[in-house]
Structure 1
């Protein structure tokens, strides 16, 4: 009994320290965002004297954060929609259908996961410029879809591979086409995986800075995370306002984590088991 209790402490203490290290930056940023510049200069680690929302309002209105927020919503929404449609179709084909080259195609998608974006960023920017897609929403959406599609296909293929083939055969006997099987059978079955992958892709796209900064040089088309970097340059001497901008950008991600913890965990582990 004593050994089991000691073992629990060995797990609980590192997990508590990890949780503290994760929560503290958010608490510190929130506290700084509620301070005046004078309070921050005097003592950056002290507790704010009162809840002041003027910094958040100033960050929201100063560099067009509202416009950047809308830009991020539009780009992330379109990107995730295309990723789920294409990823679920490809996952159904690679997980359940057997055709020539299917194995090689899946291995190619798997290999694409190991290619860093920095390797392809220059050719991608040149291609976007040559096709007129640079500094456009369709261009950024296509870049996000191309970047995160291998991950989506991998998880959806792993999930759909665990669906019994008898279900597919029964649906075909009932007269369904392949598209009918996909729409009536596979989409409802894959709803948990689609939700998990959709949340993960939304977080990836929302938190991205490099791709958006590369492909959207215009200030009007910036996404929220790029806008936060611009806020840092403008308010380098006013850290509370910059902290308020960081808080605005982090709030949607925090809410997603709070409400969809289980789905995110399921999405991370979806490809770790074979059905």
Structure 2
């Protein structure tokens, strides 16, 4: 059995240190969430003496993390569904349908990727306020769609461009309308890319604070990440409860990555390998 050469160590050591730097904050947060306030004050870096779930229960029920969690699930599910529907239709049209101005429209979508949300924040808030959409689920969903749609369209357009045009032409000759081609061919073939983009969009929406804070000012409609920021102010002296709230917010992202990491990688590379 051959020994690893120095080249492998040059890669393995930095990657190991990076993995430790990534995992340690999660383990530290989980450990703090299991402590009492007294244990944390006496020694914040020691291991919890026993596994206590009181802080998680307090954060979920008394603090309102359960309500914030439900708000996030509703908004993220609706936003991702709209993003994938509109993005897949737009990606198919820009990649496979020949019409005047398609190149200019694709360039507009690409340019929109470089516009930070802070630039459109005030006009968006005014438009939403005039439409009565502030502090409503539809308002936040539409804000997420407006912010992340260029990214979704860009990735799906890149994927659909790798699909042979002969498939579309053959389907049209067989009598399919453009909608029929989209529903019967493009959606099934684009499933890996749709899954990958959907996961990324879900993570973007789930981790957002600024847009949600702008669109949902009331406490009842807060999303989970905004609830975490408010929790930090209310429980600055009770760090274990705050750590429990952070753990609740981070676990869905961690579970999603652990179970869908292969699908994410396959979806990202599918557009490059197809053709």
For the criterion TM > 0.5, the same-fold answer is yes
TM-score of the two chains, using structure 1 as the length reference? 0.96
CA deviation after TM superposition for structure 1 residue 28, in Å: 0.3
Tell me, yes or no, if the aligned pair for 2:192 and 2:270 is still in contact at 8 Å.
Answer: no
- 2:254 aligned residue: 254
Which position in structure 1 is the counterpart of 2:21?
21
Give the RMSD, CA atoms, in angstroms: 1.7
1:244 Cα shift? 0.2
Residue 101 (structure 1) shift:
0.6
Mapped partners of 2:17, 2:248: distance in 1: 26
Q: 1:75 offset after TM fit, Å?
A: 0.3
Q: Contact between 2:91 and 2:156, CA under 8 Å: does it hold in 1?
A: yes
The correspondence of residues 50-199 of structure 1 with structure 2, limited to 5 A, is: 50-199=50-199
SS in 2 for 1:44: coil
Q: Alignment length, in residue pairs?
A: 274
Q: Distance in 2 between matches of 1:68 and 1:102?
A: 41
Look up the match of 2:216.
216
Distance, in Å, in 1 between the alignment partners of 2:270 and 2:140 is 27
The Cα offsets for residues 208-227 of structure 1, whole Å up to 9 and x where unpaired, read as 01100011001111001111
Structure 2 counterparts to residues 197-208 of structure 1, below 5 A: 197-208=197-208
Distance 1:209 1:159 in 2: 30
1:237 matched to 2:240 = no
Quickly say closer, same or farther: Cα 1:149–1:257, change in 2 above 3 A.
same
Deviations 1:23-61 (A, max 9, x none): 000000000000000010011100110100000001111
Instruction: Please give the secondary structure, in 2, of the residue aligned with 1:47.
Output: coil
User: Residue 159 of structure 1: SS of its match in structure 2?
Assistant: helix
- After TM superposition, which residue ranges in structure 1, 4 or more long, deviate above 6 angstroms? 270-274
Structure 2 distance, partners of 1:170, 1:120, is 43
1:62-95 alpha-carbon deviations (Å, 9 max, x no partner): 2211111111110000000000000000000011
Structure 2: state its 5+ residue gaps. Answer: none
Q: Provide the C-alpha distance between the structure 1 equivalents of 2:269 and 2:173, rounded to a whole number of angstroms.
A: 33
**CA displacement, residues 170-228 of structure 1 (integer Å, 9 cap, x when unaligned):** 11111101100000010000000000001110111011011000110011110011111
Q: Indicate conservation of the 8 Å contact 1:96/1:160, yes or no.
A: yes
| Matched residue, 2:228 | 228
How far 1:4 sits from its partner (Å)? Answer: 7.5
How far does residue 8 in structure 1 lie from its aligned partner after superposition? Answer: 1.0
Residue 47 of structure 1 corresponds to 47
Q: Distance in 2 between matches of 1:232 and 1:142?
A: 28
